Amino acid sequence: MAVDVAWGPDGPTASGAAMPDADRDQPVHMVPTDAGILVVHDMRQWEIALPDFASSEADGASTGGEIKAPMHGKITQVFAKEGQAVEKGARIAVLEAMKMEHILHAPRDGIIEALPVKDGSQVEEGALVARIAETEA
């Protein structure tokens, strides 16, 4: 079943235009939760998890303040500049690999200390994409 989902001021809404005719009379209920969205339809339910950029999973293949390429690929977009202040979870760059885009996020608050890549750069797995220095308290 395909359902178009939109997020508005009152929360998520679903449009069942692509739903089979037999299911059109069945309402789709969507409830925001702390972890994402709970979708209930025809006595079944699914939980759609939203990314939590404040969690330790936000840093992907990074350690400390370093963001490293999780695999060989091409940097298609760089969102940050050296010397720029960033917050944990901020988008730093996009790595294209295996016909997919991987967004690399800042693992912590800080200042971009090194950014050895630019749009179009080819990187190997484990290559440094950015280093974020801690800000002094």
Q: What is the pLDDT of residues 67-104, one digit of tens each?
A: 999 999 999 999 999 999 999 989 999 999 888 888 99
Which one is the CATH code of 56-133: 2.30.30.90, 2.40.50.100, 2.40.30.10, 1.10.1660.10?
2.40.50.100
Q: Is 59 exposed, middle or buried (0-12, 13-18, 19+ CB in 10 A)?
A: buried
**Rounded distance, CA 73 to CA 20, Å?**
40
Q: What is the pLDDT of residues 3-54, one digit of tens each?
A: 566 666 766 666 654 445 555 566 777 787 777 778 787 778 877 776 555 5
Q: What is the pLDDT of residues 111-137, one digit of tens each?
A: 999 999 999 999 999 999 999 998 765
The CATH 2.40.50.100 portion of the chain extends over: 56-133
The pLDDT assigned to 133 comes to 93
**Rounded distance, CA 130 to CA 75, Å?**
12
DSSP per-residue codes, 20-41 = -GGGTTS-EEEEE-SSEEEEEE
